[in-house]
Amino acid sequence: MSYQNGGSSSGGGYQPIESSTGSENGASASPGPNLKKWTIGAVAVVVLGLIGVSMAKPGSSHVAQSGAASSEISANGKMKLFDDLHRYVLEDYDAKPTFASFLPGVAGLYGKPVWSFYVNRGQGVASFGTKTKDFPMLEFNPANKAYQLTPFVGFRTFIKTVRGKRSLDYEPFAPSAARNLESADQEAEAEKPKRIMYVGTNEFEVREINADVGLTTSAKTIVLPEENFAALVRRVNFTNTGSDSLTLSALDGLAQMEPVGGKLDWGLKQMSRTLEGWFGVYHATDDLTMPFYRMSTEPSDEASVKIEEAGHYCLAFVDSEDKKADLLPIVYDTSKIFGQNTPLEVPQAFKVTTVSDIVANPQFGDAKTSSAFAALESVELAPGESITVTTFYGRADHVKEVPKIAKTVTKKGYASAKFERARSLINELTAGVETNTTSKLFDGAIKQMYLDNSLRGGMPHIIGDVDDDAKFSNFDEDERVKVFHAFSRIHGDLERDYNAFLIDDTFYSQGPGNYRDVAQNRREDVTLTPRIGAFNVKMFLSYIQADGYEPLTVEAVVYMITNPNVAATVSGLTTADPKSAETLTNILNGGPFRPGQLFNLIDQLNVTLSVDRESFLDQVVAEAQNIPMAVYGSGYWADHWEYYLDLIDSYLAIYPDGEETLMYDNELRYFFSTATVKPRSDKYVLSLTFDGKSHHVQQLDSTFFDDEKADEQEAFRNVNTGIIGIDAYWQRTEKGVAFKSSPIAKLFLLGAIKYATRDAWGMGVEYEGGRPGWNDAMNGLPGMVGSGMPETYEMYLLLKYVKKVVDKYDRAVVIPAELNKMVVSVNKALDKLEKSGYKDPEDLPFDVPEPLFEYWDVVASARENYRNDVQYYFSGNTTTIEASEMSDMIDRWLDQIELGMTRAIKFGSHGYMDDGTSGIPPSYFSYNVTKWTKNKGKNDVGLPLVNARAMKVGRFPLFLEGPVRQMKTIIDDKKKLQSLYKKVLTTGIRDDKLKMYLLSADLKGQSYDMGRMMAFAPGWLENQSVWMHMSYKYYLELIRGELFEEFFSEMKGGGMLPYMDPDVYGRSLMECSSFIASSHFPDPDTQGRGFSARLSGSTAEFLSIWKLMFIGPKPFFLDDNGDLKMQLIPALPEFFFKDDESGTDPTFDDDGNYVVSFKLFASIIVTYHNPTGSNMFRVKPSSYTVTMDDGETVKVDGPEIPTKLAKQIRKVYGVASIDVYF
C-alpha cells in the first residue's frame, strides 16, 4: 500500500530560499544537460513540496473547517503529510499518541549550538540547554514526564483580546482545549481550535487556528546558527483572522527558566527546593528587558567556593524588517502570572490584571524558580494583519555580554535571516546525498538519514588545505590534510534518558559517541567524501588493544604541535601583532587541542588574527599531528571489532589501488585501557541458582580495574595542568616506546585472539569480556558462559580477508613475539585434536565431548597466558611470519570455524513453538558447567571460584542477528540467500501483520538470566519487537546479495521508511526509530509505532543501501592489468523512474529517456538515462558523458571510465556532471 497521493502546491510559511543555482521550488538558473524538466540546486533541498501524500485521519477537515492554507490540502480535502517547506505535518498533534524528538543541535562549523528536545504536547519544546543535561535552561525530563509537564512548565502564551465589545482571556495550545479524536461527537470537537505541528530537519512549528477568537497563533523554533553565542530562538506570530480589528496584549515565554550554577540536573531532581536558595534574577540594565538568571555561587559545602558569573538571558522584541527592534520587558516573577496556582495550570494573576500592570509592578526572583515571559502590551491588528514576537534564550559568561548580544539580535531583519539560514544550512550539509526520483518520499528520507547518521557518527570535514597541493590530496597523500568530525554526540534524548550526551557549545561542535555507533555510522564517509581516504580505517584499527578488545567511547581527534619553533612560525603568520603571536604560540605549545577549544582560547585571550578563521585553522592543523582519542568506559563489548571490515570494504570501493599500502606500509599503535580481562579461574563463580535449591557456575565480573595500569598512566600526568598526557593511552614497551604494528598484523592479531576465544563446541565466540555483542539487552549472557554466532561469522570473514591479502601481496607479516607464542600453542592444540581422531557423531550431544573440551581448555589457557604477557607492556620483540605460512595457518582455522558453523545449524535454536529444525542459524549459546573443582579463590563478595571440568551447551530462541550475519558469509551464493530468505519468512522472527522482522522470536519460557530483554513485555524494546537497525541490516544484505525483487518488495511493502503507514508509525516518515512496537505488544493501539527517535544505526544501513542503489558496490576497481577504472552500475526500481501512485510526473531527457539524478561525492551531478523506465538492476552503462566545470565534455563508450578520467572524478577535480546512458 502506498501513502503517496495528490500533486504539487505552493505558498504558505517561509518563502523558498534561493541558492546560486537553484531554488526550493525547482527553478534553476542553469539546467543540467539534455533535461526537459529536471534541475538540481547545488544546495537546495529536494522538492518535497511536490509530495502529494495524504493523511486519512480521524477529525481531519477541509480547508474552511481547519483554517489550513490551501497549499496544505490534498485534492481529497485532507492535509498532506508534508508542506511546501518539506516539513512533516502532524494534524491534531496533541490529540495523537505521544512522540519525542529533537532539533539537531547543529549551529554550523562557526556557530555554538544548544540542545533542544520536543514532544507533541503543549507548544512542543520540552527541554533545552547547553552542553549536557546538567546545564539546562528548561529542565531535562525523560519522555514520560515530559509528555505530562511540557504543556505547563514549557512555553506558554497568554492573550487578552478585545474585539468590539467582546473581551477574552485565552491561552493557545492549552491542554484543556485539545480535541478528542475518540469522541463520538466529532462535530462538537471540530468547533475546538485546530492544532498542527510542522517538523522540519532543523526547525519545528506549532500552529493553532481558533475560528471562535478569530486568531491564528504559531510558534517556530530553531537553534541559532553561525553565531559566537548559543541560543534557542522562538518566533511567535499572531494573525487576526477575523473580519474586524482586534486589540491584543500577551505574555509569551517560558514558565520555568533555570539559572546557571554548575551541574544542576541531579540537584533539580533530588533537592530542587534547597537549590532555589542560590537562585536569583539579575539585570544587565535598569529596565526589565535584559534579565540574567544565575546562582550566587555554585551549590556546595566544600572549602573552595566558586562565585557564579555566567547566566542565562532572555531577549525579546517585535520583529522588524526595516528598523532596529526595541526590546520588550520580561516578566520573570512566576507569581505575577500564575498567582497561587502552583501547578501552573491556570494564570490566575494574569486573569485579574493587565499586561501593563504586571510590567509596572515590582517583581522578585530570589530563592525561587523564575519564568521568562516577553510582555507584549496593547497592539491593534487589522483583519489579516500579523505581529511577530521573537525571543532569544541563551547563555552568556557574564552579564556584561548581554547588551552586546541584544545589539546584534535586534538588528533589522536579523531574526528572519537566521530562520532562513537555519534551513539552508542543513540543506547545504545534506546536499551530499541529494537525490531526485519520482519518489519524493525517498528523496527526502535519504537527506534526513544522512543528517541523523552524521549526528551519531559525526560529519567529516577536511581541514589543512593550505595550498593547491593539499586541496587536491587526500588524508593519506598529504600529511597536512586532516579530517575532523563535527556535530556528533552519543544518543541521549528524552527516550534514551540513560545516556549522558555532550554537545560542545563551541565552533566545530562535537561530542563523544559509543564505539559501535561511531564505527558503524562512519561506514560510508569515504563514499561521500573520498578525501578522507583511510582515516577511519587507521583510527579504528589503532584502537585495537593488545588483548583484542576496544574502548567504549570514541572522542573527536585532537591536534598537537610538538615543535615550539613550528608553533612560533604559524603564530607569526596568522596573527596581527606581536602580543597575539606570543599568546598563540603559548596556546599551541600548551598541549593537544580541538578546533573549538582553539577558537575559544584565542577569543578569551584576545588574540587578533591577520587571516580569516578558515585560513587560520588550516595553517594550524597542517603543522599538527593527528591523534585519535578514546575512553575505556566499562566492560569489553564483544562486537566492537565487527565493523572494521565494513570500513575497509568502503575504502576499497573508492581506493582499490590503496590496499597494499594501507595494510603493510602504515604503523599503528595499540590502545591502552585501565581494565584487564580476568582468566577463567578468577571469574567462574559458584553461586546459588535462582530458586536457591542448587548451585551453578556463572561467569561474573569478567574485568577488573587494574591499578598498575592506572599507575602507568599516572606517569604521564602534567604537574602544571594536572592532566594526563595523551601518550598514556597507548601501550608501550618497557623502554617507554609506543609499540606499533601494521594494519594487517593488527587484523591478524584480532582474528587469532577471536579464534582462540571460541566456545567449547567450537561454534560461537565467547562473551568472556563481561559484555555481550550488538544485542546488548542479552546482558546476562556473559554470566551464562555464553557465546555468539554473529561474532563467529564476522571472525570467519575477517580471517578470510587477512588470508586474501597475504595471498595477494605475498608479503610477510610482523607480529608481536607474545602473539606468536600464543599462536604456536593454539596450533599445537589443534594438532593434538586432529591426531586424537575425533569426529562429530551424526547426532550431536549437548555435553561437550572430552577431546573438544580439552582443546578448548588448552587454547583458552594460551589466550590467557598471552594476555598476561602483554598486560602492561609489549617486550618489543617481534616474529616474522611468511605469507604462505600465515595463509596455511588460517586455512586450518577456517576449516575449524566452518565445522563449528555446521554444528550450530545442527543444534539450531530452541524456544516456544521452535523445535530447532528451521535451518536458520541460531545466534547465541550458553554453557552449563556440569563438573568443576574449587580453586581456593573467592570473588569480591566471598563466593568460591572454580575451574571448569565439563560443560553442556544450551540453546535460545531465534534472533534476527544470526541469519543477518550468516548472509554476509554466503553473499555470493544467490540460491543460498534466497533459501535463507524464504525460511526466515516462515519463522517467528517475521511479523506478518506489520510486514517487518522481529529482533527475536517468542521468548516465553526463557530464563531471566539471559538479560534485561526478558524484563520487557513482548513487542517492547528488545523483546520480540522490530529493532529497526537489525532489520535494516537484513534488508542491506538482501540488496547486497542482489535479491532485488525481494528487497524492493520489502521496501514498498511497508517494512521500510519512508513507505510505512504514517498513522501507524506515529511520527515523521523521514525519521528512523530505534524500535517499533510489534504486533505481539499487548496494546493494539501501540503496535507499529516507532520509539526512541533518530540516532539509530538504521541510518548507516540506509546510506549503504542508497550507495548500492545509486552507485553500485564497487565504483572503482582494478582491471586485469592493475589499472584503475570506474563504473556506475545502479540497482534502481521502476517506481523511481515512473510511479502513478506518487503523484509526481516522470522526468525525461530530450531523447525521451526517463531520468533520475543524484549527487556523487557531494559535488558531481550524476544523471541516469533509462530508455524504458523499467527496473535497472545492475545493468552496465553503454556510455558516459562527463561534463567539466569549464563546460568541456568527454564522451566515454562502454561501461568503464578509463584511468585518467576515473582518477580525476575521484579527486572531485573540475568535474561538474556525469550523464550515464543505458
Distance separating alpha carbons of residues 20 and 426, to the nearest angstrom: 16
Nearest to 364 by CA among 436, 279, 455, 423: 279
Nearest to 254 by CA among 139, 103, 115, 388: 139
Distance separating alpha carbons of residues 1054 and 158, to the nearest angstrom: 43
Please check the confidence at residue 43 and state whether its pLDDT lies above 80. no
pLDDT band at 25, cuts 50/70/90?
A: very low
- Measured at the CA of 997, the angle between CA 638 and CA 1008, to 5 degrees, comes to 50
Please indicate whether residue 55 or residue 371 has the higher confidence score (pLDDT).
371
- DSSP assignment of 632-644 equals --SSB-TTGGGGH
One-letter identity of residue 664: Y
Please check the confidence at residue 241 and state whether its pLDDT lies above 60. yes
Distance separating alpha carbons of residues 1069 and 1093, to the nearest angstrom: 11
Range 24-33 contact pairs with CB under 8 angstroms and sequence separation of 24 or more: 24/49, 24/84, 24/85, 24/86, 25/49, 26/50, 32/1157, 32/1165, 32/1167, 32/1217, 33/1167, 33/1185, 33/1187, 33/1217, 33/1219
Please check the confidence at residue 747 and state whether its pLDDT lies above 90. yes
pLDDT band at 72, cuts 50/70/90?
A: low
Q: What is the pLDDT of residue 15?
A: 27
Q: What is the pLDDT of residue 1179?
A: 95
Q: What is the pLDDT of residue 634?
A: 82
Grid cell of 624 as nine digits: 599538527
Q: What is the pLDDT of residue 41?
A: 32
Per residue in 1180-1213, pLDDT (tens digit) is: 999 999 999 999 999 999 999 999 999 999 999 8
Grid cell of 1083 as nine digits: 496494546
Distance separating alpha carbons of residues 450 and 528, to the nearest angstrom: 10
Q: Out of 54-58, 204-208, 694-698, 772-776, which region has the weakest mean confidence (pLDDT)?
A: 54-58
Per residue in 578-587, pLDDT (tens digit) is: 999 999 999 9
Distance separating alpha carbons of residues 50 and 437, to the nearest angstrom: 11
Please indicate whether residue 631 or residue 35 has the higher confidence score (pLDDT).
631
Per residue in 878-917, pLDDT (tens digit) is: 999 999 999 999 999 999 999 999 999 999 999 998 998 9
Mark 14-34 as b/e (b = at least 16 C-beta within 10 Å): bebbbbebbbbbbebeeebeb
Nearest to 554 by CA among 457, 455, 452, 453: 457
Q: What is the pLDDT of residue 12?
A: 31
Q: What is the pLDDT of residue 64?
A: 33
Q: Provide the whole-model pTM.
A: 0.92
At 324 the three-state DSSP class reads coil
Q: What is the pLDDT of residue 690?
A: 82
Residue percentage of the chain with pLDDT more than 90 = 87
One-letter identity of residue 425: L
Rounded mean pLDDT of 138-154? 97
- Whether the bond between 1058 and the residue before it is cis, its omega within 30 degrees of 0, is yes
Distance separating alpha carbons of residues 22 and 1177, to the nearest angstrom: 31
Rounded mean pLDDT of 424-439? 94
Determine which helix (DSSP H) or strand (DSSP E) holds 359, and give its type and residue range.
helix 355-360
Q: 40-44, 72-76, 390-394 — which one is most confidently predicted on average?
A: 390-394
Distance separating alpha carbons of residues 350 and 274, to the nearest angstrom: 28
Per residue in 778-826, pLDDT (tens digit) is: 999 999 999 999 999 999 999 999 999 999 999 999 999 999 999 999 9
Rounded mean pLDDT of 125-153? 97
Grid cell of 1053 as nine digits: 511493502
Rounded mean pLDDT of 151-165? 96
Please check the confidence at residue 723 and state whether its pLDDT lies above 90. no
Question: Starting from the edge strand earliest in sequence, which strands make up the sheet with 625-631, in order?
Answer: 513-514, 553-560, 625-631
What's the whole-number average pLDDT of the chain?
92
Grid cell of 1187 as nine digits: 561534463
Nearest to 252 by CA among 328, 201, 168: 328
Grid cell of 65 as nine digits: 473547517
Rounded mean pLDDT of 945-960? 98
Grid cell of 1154 as nine digits: 526517463
Please check the confidence at residue 29 and state whether its pLDDT lies above 80. no
Strands 787-788 and 765-766: antiparallel
Q: What is the pLDDT of residue 77?
A: 60
CA-only gyration radius of the chain, Å = 31
One-letter identity of residue 435: T
Q: What is the pLDDT of residue 71?
A: 55
Per residue in 1026-1066, pLDDT (tens digit) is: 999 999 999 999 999 999 999 999 999 999 999 999 999 99
- Measured at the CA of 1041, the angle between CA 1039 and CA 1042, to 5 degrees, comes to 60
Q: What is the pLDDT of residue 82?
A: 85
Q: What is the pLDDT of residue 76?
A: 54
- Measured at the CA of 578, the angle between CA 577 and CA 581, to 5 degrees, comes to 90
- Number of Cβ within 10 Å of residue 243's Cβ equals 9
Please check the confidence at residue 9 and state whether its pLDDT lies above 80. no
pLDDT band at 243, cuts 50/70/90?
A: very high
Please check the confidence at residue 193 and state whether its pLDDT lies above 70. yes
Please check the confidence at residue 37 and state whether its pLDDT lies above 80. no
Please indicate whether residue 1029 or residue 727 has the higher confidence score (pLDDT).
1029
Distance separating alpha carbons of residues 119 and 106, to the nearest angstrom: 19
Nearest to 778 by CA among 615, 940, 637, 901: 637
Residue 301: partners with Cβ closer than 8 Å, 6 or more residues away = none
Grid cell of 1174 as nine digits: 523499467
Rounded mean pLDDT of 187-202? 94
Mark 937-954 as b/e (b = at least 16 C-beta within 10 Å): eebeeebbbbbbeebbbb
Distance separating alpha carbons of residues 928 and 930, to the nearest angstrom: 6
At 645 the three-state DSSP class reads helix
Distance separating alpha carbons of residues 1044 and 1048, to the nearest angstrom: 6
Per residue in 1073-1099, pLDDT (tens digit) is: 999 999 999 999 999 999 998 988 999
Please check the confidence at residue 32 and state whether its pLDDT lies above 70. no
Secondary structure percentages of the chain, helix, strand, coil, to 5:
30, 25, 40
Per residue in 448-462, pLDDT (tens digit) is: 999 999 999 999 999
Rounded mean pLDDT of 680-708? 93
Grid cell of 596 as nine digits: 573549538
